[in-house]
């Protein structure tokens, strides 16, 4: 007879550590798991965490015989609910052993909390915003995760579906190989568009100059171009400052390609990030001295680039000017020892973005899913 499962809301410092460390212990020997930065996870328990300007969150641990066997978080994203006239709670940071009773207890706790808040639907995995890890990996378990997205075991899908959840949306992830030769047609097309619309590419000496001139404009354009995509929310001032601070270490001018019109209005941008996945694995996301050394090496001499964000204004969305940013990226890649780029998440319905990858040698190697369940 299996012993009973106890669900506890995370309250104490000890429980916070257990919540953060559970997946680190669970996936310690998995070569494809990439941890988040430990300090970033600790920050979610601070009362002044910027996302709490528009959100409420709850954190649960599942215990059996005194040992942690699972965890989950619920997020009431008020800004998203107001924007879409919904009554939803998001689930996130779900990790558990392969035991349906554990999953049932964890999801039951989040559903009970959601009902107490007057909500009628649970969806996820979704974070506080689109910049957090989201989606459950359902294909591609044999591939290294990117730093931006969460890895999970293949049995998670079964556990979630057996709790009554079904597919809401899927995201696709692609591996884009660096072309062996320059795409002269792309370069010519980009140059013609630059001339036709009187556009120019932003050039910066360092990260500070880039963020000072283009940082706020990029965030404004993310809000504009992503506002109708699944699960996105506008950035608050506090969140913008937090993200800008985290970008200062990893974002370099050569990785952020921004295009302006003749009045210095941002038209489109593409942001790639050097992959730091392998750099943070051994330290389990802690910034130890050896990890910092690996991190700086990955940033300055990357072998893989993660395609983080792409944006284009409504005015230019149908013009095809986004090809300018890709021309800039590919030109940079040809001069470096880069093997490939990872696209991270593209909604499977976002055909305008997915069609861009057809210009390159690509492999659609991962798939993620967001689930949904009506609870009343």
Residue 65 has pLDDT above 60, yes or no: yes
User: Which of residues 89 and 177 earns the better pLDDT score?
Assistant: 89
Q: At 109, is the secondary structure helix, strand, or coil?
A: helix
Higher pLDDT, 4 or 182: 4
Q: What is the pLDDT of residues 344-357, one digit of tens each?
A: 899 999 887 888 78
Q: What does the alpha-carbon distance between residue 35 and residue 355 come to, in Å, rounded to a whole number?
A: 31
pLDDT of residue 335: 59
Distance, CA of 119 to CA of 373 (rounded, Å):
11
Res. 21: pLDDT tops 90:
yes
Q: The dihedral of CA 140, 141, 142, 147: what is its sign?
A: positive
Tens digit of each residue's pLDDT (9 = 90 or more) over 139-154: 999 999 999 999 999 9
What is the phi/psi pair of residue 7, to 5°?
-105, 130
- Pairing relationship of beta strands 340-342 and 304-312 according to DSSP bridges: parallel
* Residue 135, token pair as written in the block: 């989606």
DSSP reduced 3-state for 61: strand
42: confidence class by pLDDT, cuts 50, 70, 90: very high
**Where residue 2 falls among pLDDT bands split at 50, 70, 90?**
low
Instruction: Work out the burial of residue 245: count CB atoms within 10 Å of its CB; fewer than 13 is exposed, 13-18 middle, 19 or more buried.
Output: exposed
Rounded average pLDDT over 66-73: 97
Q: What is the per-residue pLDDT for 1?
A: 44
Hey, which residues does 72 pair with through a beta bridge? 60
CA distances for 179 relative to 5, 174, 304, 330, 362, angstroms: 53, 15, 14, 8, 10
Q: Tell me, what's the pLDDT at 61?
A: 98
Whether 269 contacts 257, CB under 8 Å: yes
Cβ(10)–Cβ(61) under 8 Å?
yes
* pLDDT score for 332: 67
Q: Is the pTM of this model over 0.85?
A: yes
Which tens digits make up the pLDDT trace of 355-373? Answer: 878 778 889 999 999 999 9
pLDDT tens track for 229-247: 898 998 888 988 888 887 7
């Amino acid at each position: 007879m299996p012993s009973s499962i106890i669900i506890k809301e995370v309250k104490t410092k000890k429980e916070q550590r257990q919540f953060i460390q559970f997946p680190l212990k669970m996936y310690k020997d998995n070569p494809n798991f990439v941890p988040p930065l430990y300090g970033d996870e600790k920050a979610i328990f601070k009362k002044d965490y910027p996302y709490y300007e528009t959100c409420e969150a709850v954190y649960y641990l599942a215990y059996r015989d005194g040992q942690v066997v699972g965890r989950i978080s619920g997020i009431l994203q008020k800004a998203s609910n107001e924007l879409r006239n919904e009554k939803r709670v998001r689930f996130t940071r779900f990790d558990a052993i392969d035991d349906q009773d554990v999953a049932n207890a964890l999801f039951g706790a989040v559903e009970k909390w959601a009902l107490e808040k007057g909500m009628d639907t649970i969806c996820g995995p979704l974070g506080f915003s689109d910049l957090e890890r989201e989606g459950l990996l359902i294909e591609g378990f044999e591939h290294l995760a990117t730093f931006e997205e969460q890895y999970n075991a293949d049995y998670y899908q079964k556990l979630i579906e057996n709790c009554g959840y079904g597919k809401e949306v899927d995201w696709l992830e692609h591996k884009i190989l660096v072309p062996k030769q320059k795409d002269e047609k792309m370069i010519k097309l980009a140059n013609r568009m630059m001339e036709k619309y009187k556009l120019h590419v932003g050039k910066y000496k360092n990260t500070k100059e880039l963020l000072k001139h283009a940082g706020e404009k990029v965030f404004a354009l993310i809000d504009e171009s992503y506002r109708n995509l699944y699960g996105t929310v506008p950035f608050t001032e506090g969140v913008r400052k937090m993200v800008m601070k985290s970008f200062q270490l990893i974002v370099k001018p050569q990785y952020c390609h921004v295009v302006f019109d003749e009045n210095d209005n941002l038209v489109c941008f593409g942001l790639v990030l050097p992959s730091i996945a392998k750099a943070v694995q051994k330290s389990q996301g802690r910034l130890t001295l050896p990890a910092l050394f690996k991190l700086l090496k990955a940033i300055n001499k990357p072998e893989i680039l993660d395609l983080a964000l792409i944006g284009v204004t409504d005015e230019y969305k149908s013009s095809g000017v986004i090809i300018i940013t890709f021309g800039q990226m590919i030109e940079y890649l040809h001069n470096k020892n880069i093997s490939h780029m990872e696209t991270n998440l593209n909604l499977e319905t976002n055909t305008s973005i997915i069609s861009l990858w057809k210009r390159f040698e690509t492999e659609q190697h991962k798939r993620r899913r967001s689930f949904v369940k009506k609870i009343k």
